[in-house]
Each structure stands twice: as structure tokens, then as C-alpha cells.
Structure 1
């Protein structure tokens, strides 16, 4: 029997939606015998559903569906805020760094709603799985740990984009009123959830796409880096590195990046935690439509070309031509002049619709982990370390087609950097490594470098209101615990 985490020519999952106000769950029906989407909607009362391992697994699968739909929209927003990319059409306004207009406020409301729907589905598992009458404690604990990992992942997206948000857990998920918690309170919940996840989740994922203990440790390391707990970030990322479960995929040419990001890829040695998609309408990665143009034929459904770059962009101009990542950009006139650039990092020529791209979204790959360690080890010691330098060099070597773990001619040298310049070097390397993965804007905010880097690269001054998104009207209108003035983010 296949589940939503397998993608190679087989059924992934049913598209499952659960209304936030309902206590009913529509179970997933799977088949491994056909590629067609099979749907058998059948509502069951909670007391009659969370009893067997199969039922609880189906409920756990339901956590993935809303955030799978929300993350491509999140990436499209974030990539328009970067130093190497611009928004086009209705996304052009985002590249002015002056906050959100009405169109984009509506979009981020959808993202908010989908994250909270995923959180509610997680809360249902956390609350009900331990009470099942035909499920072992070990199985119940496993699915609760998975649900807590996913709840933490969702809240991490919320808190970085909106700051403090209402906390809804299994204890208060049915209450309409929920105060706006502080960001520290949100991070406390995230860390508590992830500590459960890392202690209970298995060493090896039961299926590709489900988190394991190493994914939980990686997310924890990122949380600790975000909250300036550098010793903890260093130690947690070091645990994952020393497990030797992951390694960078070697490449010899720019086309080899499709071994990492291509639509046919099922998994790789550097996959820690990815959002999985498949080449089926409504089950594919919607983000892939944004960076592609119909004329290139690199995306079978055409593409919006809503995100692009330019040959005069300073990030592009300053990148070494020998860096194979630079060649992911190619010249294509999208109607804005002959210097326009598009990216071939995420392409799927065989996608039949805009929601049918087979490319996964790599939220945590080994390159993330290595650069988390490199920065955290430097900040913890207030100086670059040999171990942190080696972690950085592995990512850098791979970008030049070198063996990641072997000393090379492109290596950075420890003596050339102090604590400040080494962190700046890591920020620069991340800017090349994670293009179009939705990470750059959040990193620039976290490091306090956003104003400086955006001004230098694209000449824009970031409005203070631009750093946070407005609490959506969908929350403000129906949550009586929120004050529309005091609880709204500044400028909205």
C-alpha cells in the first residue's frame, strides 16, 4: 500500500481537506495499482475514528495537505523580497519593499489559513491518538511525535512572518477566542514539540517524506540559530553531521543540479526533510510555475514568469563564473529588456498543469545543516572554527564540481576571516546556494542584514512595515480575543 510520501509513478494521496470548525475527518483511501486519484469521502465522528494505527496514520497524513498547498505561495512571496530576484506582474510591488498591497494581503491570508488548518489537523492527532482502543502505545506515540514535528514546522513559518501569533493546541483548538501570544511563547511551544519529536521519531523514516529524529534535530538547530542560542544550534547540527546519514550529492556540470531538484527525483543522500509532490494535477508543486516562461518549454504548463532576475543584478554580476550555481540562470527576454534572466533550478517539462510539477520542495537538505553548523560554531566561539570552515567548504566545493569532502583549490582559508567576516561569508554563500528555495528573506531578517544587503544589491530602502505581514482579516474578524488596533502589526 502506498501513501502520500511515495511519488514515483504511483498514487500519492487523496486531496484531503478538513474544515477548521469541524471535528470530523475524511479518511484517505490509497491504492498502489493505479495512478488515478481515488476519492471516497466518508465522514466519521472522532470517537469512532482514532482507534487503529491505520486510522491514526490517515489522520496524520491529513496534516500534510494544507501546508503542502500553502508553501508554494509562501516561496513566491519570499523570493520577491530577495537581493537576487524580482517580482513581476502582481508580485512586482513586493520588490519595492514597502509592504503589501490588497492583492498580496489576500494571498498571505490564504497562507495563514492553510498553516492553521494544518495545525488543527495536528492537534486532532495529538489529542485523540493516545485514546484509541485498538492502537499500541508505541504507534500512538509515534504519530503524536510526527504531528508535533509538523505543528512546530507550521508555527515556525508563522512566527517568522507575523511575529507573535495565537497559539492553538489540542487544549484550546475548539475555542474561537485565542489571544495573540508573544514570539517567545510560540518558540517555547515549537521547542517543546521538537524535543518530543527527536526523542520518539525513528532513526529512519518509515516512508520517504515523513520526518525522522534527524529531521527534528535539524529543525531544532535552525530554531536555535533563529533565537540566537548558538551553542545549542552548534551542538544539535553537530549531532546530525556525526550521524553520517547524509551527504551532499556530487555534481560535475550545471545540469547535474537536476539530480537534486529535478521532477523525477524520489530522494537523495542530502534530503533531510522535503515537502513531497508528484506529477499529478493538484498534487504537484505550484511554485514551479512562478519562475518559468511558456516560451522556454522548461515547464510543460507554461509558467507565470512572476519571479526573475537581471544580468545587471549585483548578486549575479559578483558571483564567480566558475560557480556552477550561477549557470542555473539563463538569458531570456520576458518583455522587460534583453538582460532578463530566468532560472532552470526548478523545471518540469512534462507537467501538464500549473499544479502538476513533480519537483519536491527542499526545506532541509544537508547543505542547510552544514551552513547552520558553520555559522553557529563561529558565533558560539566568537571566531571561525576549523570544523565550521570545513562545513562551509563542503558546500562551496560542490558548487564548483569538486568532491565535497576533499580539500580543493577553491577552499576558503581560516586565517583570512574573523567572526564578523566569516558570518558575512556564510550569508553570501547561502545567497548562492538556496536561490529559489524561499529561505533568503528570512535569513536576511534573522541576521539583521536585510536593509544593508537589499540597499546594496537593488537600491531599495525597506519600509519598517515590510518586515512583518498583517494579521489577516480572517483572523481579526472572527477571533474576539484580538484587538484590531493593538494586535495588528505596525503599518496595517
Structure 2
């Protein structure tokens, strides 16, 4: 057993996440304990601070969900956040936390996978189910971390178009001496899909905690991935079987006067995960885009559940599925409805896609007032579902990913514009700034930087 590669129950110091060494170079402390049992491995994966937190969120700040005036922008604590909001790359701009946090999840996952491989021949029949569940969970966490990384640090993937462009380093062992270069986009997505498909084979149908993945959770993430890649039949088939995985919230039963009206671990949450914390996530001056504010109809309860309108001049977001200031970044039933609706529409089933969308929306409007949306063409139906994704998944990382994929379609490509300090900032579709820079410390050690 290679004891030097293992780590147990110890959260790596803040220096690992934010310091000046590359995460791929980090050496585990010699004093850390070797995981010997299934309980040890479960404890590693149950470390929610590592495995269920720090999902990259700078894409949200760069998206058109967010709006702020000069006072809000000046109040952001980190230059990194100020630069991100204006899509600037000057002044030594770096994204270290997102890189290191995701590769920390990859490291934990690889430790578990390697130890499980060593235990495979000796695990008892009674423990076989736990062994399989742990393997599935580790594969899920690794695949989801790679998926987070590639959507921040690489171009939006178009299969058959940019297969050979740079993806991310695929760290597949816990050996700290291994420093893989950047795989291609095709290789990266092949690995992610492989991890998730294997996870589906090993995971149980149910899990004892929403911090733990199960089979429907892995299938849900895979459905999202296929939607992002334009594999609409796959996204449709995967998500169709998952619409009964939870229960839609009836927004009529929520109290819009509550500071955080959406309950924590509510019936729509299939997997709990939290976006990384930034100063913009708790600023009282970071607003919801005014265009989005105006998009909610008077009888659409989301306009009261999601938006804090106490100060009409500064309308902020209050509808996180975390039930507090944290921003939800997990897997939820409402997003599955939207995935399924869009995938059905894009594969020609307009009636079916609109039925799924209307089933969701009926739970969002004042009882007895909802008039089902009607569409007779794919184009009209698609416009409906894409707008409802924006309104329903407000202030989640997904908007940035949607911008990236939709920019490949001239019909839905969006040019983003900000006004700040008398200057105009523009982010055009396909701009290189849709890809964040690799941390300089990795570049200094030979890794290729993004354009």
C-alpha cells in the first residue's frame, strides 16, 4: 500500500485552496492516517465541506442573471470578483479556489477508488453492497468535479467540431508525483461520461443522506451533460425516468414574507451541494437583472419567492434552495423537468415538452390562475422553455453554462453588456473570456494556458 498518497478526515488547510502552490503538487501531511476500512472511506466521502461545497460560482457573477451599480461593484472584496463581473483579465487575474477545490474532490475520490480496488478481493459478502455504493459515490464525485472544471477552464464542447481543443488535466490516481497534461475536450468528456455511467452501475437507488449520491442523482447529472452537448435523445430518455424522483414544491404553500422562503432540503432536492462563497453572494447591493425582475407575471409566485423587493431600488435574490445566504448548486427536480421539457421539444415532441413544462409552472403560479402555455412549433416552444430555465433556475451556476452552449446557435446567442464608471464592457458570443484562466502556478510548471 502506498501510504504516502492517503488522507483521512482532515480538511486540507486554507493554504491548499488559496496558496501559491498548484493543487496538483500538494503533498498530504505525513501525519495523516491511512484509511483502512469501509467506514474510513465513507467518512472521507461524507466530508461535506470538501465533497458538497465550493462548486464554482464565478460564472454566475459573469452571467446576465446578476446586476450591480458602481457602489455594489466597488464593495466586492476581491479584485478577482470585480474583474469577473466586467469580464476583464488584467492585473494578474487568477481563479485558484475553483481549480484547487475541484481537484481536492478528485483527490479524495481517487484515494477511495484505489483503496476499494485493494480491498475488492477480501471484502465480505455482507459488505459487498457498501463497497459498491462507495465505488459509485467516488466515481460520481470525480466525474462531477471534472464536469465543473471543464465548464470553467475549457471551451464549450461541440462534439465533432472542437474535439481536439484543450480540456483539463485528468488526474486518475492519488499519486502526487503524477502530473497529467491537459487532455483534449473529447478525452475529457469521455472520461466524465465513463465515470458517471460506472457510478450508475454501482450506486443504490436510494441514499441515506442528500449529501450522498444515488443512482437517480448520477443519471440526473448525466442528463444535464447530454443536454449541454446537444445529445437531446439521451437527455430526454434519462430525465423521463426521473420525474418521479421527488415531489414538486407548490409555491402556494410557501410564505413570500419569509427572509428565505424556500426550505432547506425540500422535496425537490435530490442532491445537496453548495456554491463557493464569495463576497457577492452576501452583498446587499448585488441585484437580480432588472430584465429578469420584470419577466415574472403578477400571478407568478416566483416573483415574490425569489425576489426581495423590500427596497424597490435594489431588488436582490432570496430564493436559494439552501434556505439561507448560500447558493444552491446541487441537483433538483425542477431542473430535471426543464431538461426533459427542452429535450422533448428539441427532438420534435412539442406537445410532450410543453406538457412537462406546464406541469412545473402550475406549481409556481397562484392557485387557479395559471393558463397553460401553448406552442405549435419547435421554435415557439423552445423560446418558452429557455426563458423558463432563466426564471426558474435563478442565481444558480447553470446560467453561465447555458450561455456557453447557446452561443453556438445564432438564434439564441447573447451579447452581454455592462456599464460601469462611464465605460461600456462587452462580452460577445464565443469570446475567449468565456473560459477562465488556468492558475499561473500550473502554467509556470508547464501546463498550457487558455488563449
TM range (shorter): 0.7 to 0.9
3-state SS, counterpart of residue 190 of structure 1: helix
CA shift digits 1:96-128 (9 cap, x unpaired): 3x343447x33x211101101110110111111
Of 247, 261, 286, the residue aligned with 1:307 is: 286
Contact 1:230 1:377 in 2 (8 A): yes
Equivalent residues in 2 for 1:178-189, closer than 5 Å: 178-189=180-191
Matched, 1:475 2:436: no
Matched, 1:162 2:157: no
Quote the Cα distance in structure 2 between the aligned partners of 1:216 and 1:378.
Answer: 23
1:425 matched residue in structure 2: 384
1:79 is displaced (CA, Å) by 2.5
Residues 229, 197 of structure 1: alpha-carbon distance in 2 compared, 3 angstrom cutoff: same
Matched, 1:329 2:307: yes
Contact 1:225 1:233 in 2 (8 A): yes
2:365 matched residue in structure 1: 400
Quote the Cα distance in structure 2 between the aligned partners of 1:471 and 1:195.
Answer: 28
Of 319, 323, 329, the residue aligned with 1:345 is: 319
3-state SS, counterpart of residue 394 of structure 1: helix
Gaps of 5+ in 1: 1-12, 27-41, 277-284, 292-302, 350-356
Residues 81, 321 of structure 1: alpha-carbon distance in 2 compared, 3 angstrom cutoff: farther
Quote the Cα distance in structure 1 between the aligned partners of 2:129 and 2:401.
Answer: 37
1:379 is displaced (CA, Å) by 1.4
Gaps of 5+ in 2: 1-7, 17-22, 155-166
1:44 matched residue in structure 2: 33
CA shift digits 1:463-485 (9 cap, x unpaired): 5122100111132223x4x2xxx
Matched, 1:366 2:325: no
Contact 2:320 2:328 in 1 (8 A): no
3-state SS, counterpart of residue 461 of structure 1: strand
Is the deviation greater in 175-184 or in 117-126?
175-184
Quote the Cα distance in structure 1 between the aligned partners of 2:261 and 2:10.
Answer: 24
3-state SS, counterpart of residue 272 of structure 2: strand
1:142 matched residue in structure 2: 133
Quote the Cα distance in structure 1 between the aligned partners of 2:131 and 2:292.
Answer: 49
3-state SS, counterpart of residue 438 of structure 2: coil
Residues 256, 326 of structure 1: alpha-carbon distance in 2 compared, 3 angstrom cutoff: closer
1:270 matched residue in structure 2: 268
1:32 matched residue in structure 2: none
1:15 is displaced (CA, Å) by 6.5
Contact 2:170 2:183 in 1 (8 A): yes
TM-score by length of 2: 0.78
Residues 306, 249 of structure 1: alpha-carbon distance in 2 compared, 3 angstrom cutoff: same
Quote the Cα distance in structure 1 between the aligned partners of 2:345 and 2:107.
Answer: 38
Matched, 1:385 2:350: yes
2:20 matched residue in structure 1: none
1:295 matched residue in structure 2: none
1:228 matched residue in structure 2: 230
Contact 1:25 1:44 in 2 (8 A): no
3-state SS, counterpart of residue 165 of structure 1: strand
Over the aligned positions, Cα root-mean-square deviation in angstroms equals 3.3
2:109 matched residue in structure 1: 122
CA shift digits 1:220-243 (9 cap, x unpaired): 1011111111111110011212xx
For this pair of structures, how many residues does the alignment match? Answer: 401
Contact 1:109 1:472 in 2 (8 A): yes
Contact 2:170 2:188 in 1 (8 A): yes
Quote the Cα distance in structure 2 between the aligned partners of 1:84 and 1:43.
Answer: 43
Residues 436, 194 of structure 1: alpha-carbon distance in 2 compared, 3 angstrom cutoff: same
Quote the Cα distance in structure 1 between the aligned partners of 2:190 and 2:383.
Answer: 29
1:65 matched residue in structure 2: 49
1:23 is displaced (CA, Å) by 7.1
Residues 347, 268 of structure 1: alpha-carbon distance in 2 compared, 3 angstrom cutoff: closer
Contact 2:261 2:318 in 1 (8 A): no
TM-score by length of 1: 0.72
Contact 2:46 2:211 in 1 (8 A): no
Matched, 1:79 2:27: no
Residues 94, 174 of structure 1: alpha-carbon distance in 2 compared, 3 angstrom cutoff: closer
3-state SS, counterpart of residue 436 of structure 2: coil
Quote the Cα distance in structure 1 between the aligned partners of 2:186 and 2:40.
Answer: 34
1:308 is displaced (CA, Å) by 1.4
1:8 matched residue in structure 2: none
